[in-house]
Amino acid sequence: MSCLGKKQFERVFSNCVGMMPKEYSRIVRFQKSLWLMQNGQDNTGIAYDTGYADQSHFIREFKMFTGCTPGRLRDECSPYSDLFTQPV
């Protein structure tokens, strides 16, 4: 427990990290989806394992971050994320 209210926690988090907690969690979830793609998991499994509501939610978020769908990225290049293999 942080002993802070929600708004105060968001303010402190934003000042320390540079973004709101929700945006940070979206980025981490996206990084994990890249890692799962890199390890051969399919879109349905990725959506389930990373906490997206469904496969279409995963694809929409993925497209927002990359500008293309997961299938198109797999066709054009090998997805890569080192967040979970080389943490900062």
> 25-59 burial string, b = 16+ CB within 10 Å, else e?
eeeebbbbbbbbbbeebebeebbeebebeebeebb
pTM of the model: 0.78
What is the phi-psi region of residue 13: left when phi exceeds 0, alpha when psi lies from -120 to 50, beta otherwise? Answer: alpha
Note the pLDDT of residue 39. Answer: 83
Note the pLDDT of residue 21. Answer: 95
Q: What is the mean pLDDT of each run of 10 residues along the chain (88 residues)?
A: 85 94 93 86 88 92 92 80 60
Note the pLDDT of residue 88. Answer: 52
DSSP secondary structure code for residue 63 in this structure:
H
Note the pLDDT of residue 44. Answer: 86
Note the pLDDT of residue 10. Answer: 94
